Amino acid sequence: MVGDQHDGVALGRVAAEHVTQEGGLVRGKRSRRLIEQKQGRMLRQRTCEMRTRFLATGDLVHLHQPLLDIGNSDDDHAMVEQRRLGNTGLSMTSLGLGGVWLGYTPAGFREEQAVATVLQALELGINFFDTADMYGRGENERLIGKAFKGHWDDVILATKFGVMRGPKGEWLGLNGQPDYIRKACDQSLLNLGTDTIDLYYMHRQDPKVEIEVIVGAMADLVKEGKVKSIGLSEVNADTLRRAHKIH
């Protein structure tokens, strides 16, 4: 096997028939699962190390070596497990990158580091990225759109609507009215510089608007091709069941 030795575990090609762990031999699907679990643990550990140093110094940590060498096939590029999102047909990594704090450092906002961070996550095999129109009042979406220019076929992007902020970031409340949802989606598409959002979801429910009305407006965006899939955040099981009857 060719690979990386770490804590007594030999990690080689995902396609390999076996992997040695703690002196034993495991095969087939279990081998793949053990490799994916090890990859996930190592990537989470490295991500925490990067975040700690980034917050402490404001400097981006560049990884000059890949976390694992698991072969050269196209499938082997993924550094973490791929999961299908419900029945949407979207396949994404089990680990994703949230955009809320991108670019913010002790030294102030640094766009070049934020873009580099996003691209490095992509190089490490992450393909799921999350943002929202309220993050920086659209600036975060514009930043991610700039980073992903030329890479849209390689990523699954989620963005959110529903929370309104003022010009200074002040809280303006929640809005789930259909007209607002349509305008918010159009603005997000403009910010991102793309014509379709992979996953568009409600950030928080407007208590003045029934979930059926909100999901109905979101479903219209799917029909129009502006959104591939929709979702809801911070709702209970009963609300999900009601929403599912609409879309």
Among 135, 180, 200, 201, the active-site one is 135
Residue 211 to residue 241: CA distance in whole angstroms: 10
Measured over the CA atoms of residue 54, residue 57, residue 62 and residue 63, the dihedral's sign is negative
Look at strands 24-27 and 18-21 and give their pairing: antiparallel
Q: Please give the Cα distance from 124 to 63 (Å, whole number).
A: 9
Neighbour tally for 110: CB within 10 Å:
17
Of 102, 163, 150, nearest in space to 129 by CA: 102
Is the CA virtual torsion 144, 147, 148, 154 positive or negative?
A: negative
Q: Is 135 a catalytic residue?
A: yes
Q: Are strands 156-161 and 197-202 parallel, antiparallel or unpaired?
A: parallel
User: Can you read off the two tokens belonging to residue 58?
Assistant: 């404001």
Among 234, 223, 227, 217, smallest CA distance to 177 is for 217
Residues that are catalytic: 135
